[in-house]
Chain A
Amino acid sequence: MSEEQRKILEMLVSGKITIDDAERLLGALSSGQGTDEKGKFKVKYLRVVVEPDPGDKKGERVNIRVPLKLIRAGLKLASVIPKDAQRKVNEALNEKGINLDFSQIRAEDLDVLVEQLDDITVDVEGKEKVRVFCE
């Protein structure tokens, strides 16, 4: 949740604005967020950050930044791989426990994913915090 969204919700809780006003403001904020003048997403990177529990000084820290252009290029490359080769890849992934069909993922779907991917935070058994977000 962004600082602006938090402020709007605080104003709503304190009674400074109505529910309709808050809805309108949040809508305006989300429509303008992350888009350029053409309405396209201007986010450039997918970030994955793994942080250990604050008390755990031995824990691993991981910070990965992948350009979205690279993911798009990879998906386009995957889309031209022949189906029998894709089937072998999917079988190998299934053996590893990853039930994912890469032939079903298209570069256009990435924009939808980015649109839906607000700041996701996952706590792993209370030990590590995994954050996945776009910037």
Chain B
Amino acid sequence: MIPVIMKINIRKKDKKGVKLFFPLFLLWIVLWALLIGLFPLILIIALFLWSKRYGRVLFLIYPFLFSIMWSMSGLSIMVEQKDNKLEFFIK
């Protein structure tokens, strides 16, 4: 499932922590619009760079980018020290 929410929680002792909920689906909409808009340009650059092998990378960047986006759901990082705590979730 495509990730829809990113949550960041930073806590420090005696200080106000930071809690951030970021709706990732808004980012995906903007990113997809950007990628679709740039597609003709990337296609032309890829064809020009095909002989230098970078063209193939540019050509494959779309499917790989989408597969990474779809795979991020469930990523979780939590680091806790004595007084500090950092949490990062993608759901």
* Interface set of A (CB-CB < 8 Å, partner B): 44-45, 57-58, 60-67, 69-70, 72-74, 76-77, 80-83
- Pairwise interchain contact B60-A80, C-beta atoms closer than 8 A: yes
**Inter-chain CB contacts under 8 Å: number:** 61
Q: Place the interface of chain B in its size category.
A: 20 to 34
Q: A57-B82, A82-B53 are in contact. Are A67 and B74 (CB under 8 A)?
A: yes
CA distance A76 to B72 in the complex (A): 15
Complex partner residue of B80 from A61, A81, A82, CB under 8 angstroms: A61
- Pairwise interchain contact A69-B79, C-beta atoms closer than 8 A: no
Q: A60-B81, A69-B71, A74-B68 are in contact. List 8 more A-B contacts (CB 8 A).
A: A44-B74, A58-B81, A61-B80, A62-B78, A66-B75, A76-B67, A77-B68, A80-B60
- Pairwise interchain contact B71-A73, C-beta atoms closer than 8 A: yes
With both chains docked as a complex, state the minimum distance between the C-beta of A84 and any C-beta of chain B, in angstroms: 8
Complex partner residue of A64 from B54, B57, B77, CB under 8 angstroms: B77
Interchain Cβ contacts under 8 Å between A and B, 14 examples: A45-B74, A57-B82, A62-B78, A63-B77, A63-B78, A63-B79, A64-B78, A65-B74, A66-B75, A67-B72, A67-B74, A70-B71, A74-B68, A82-B53
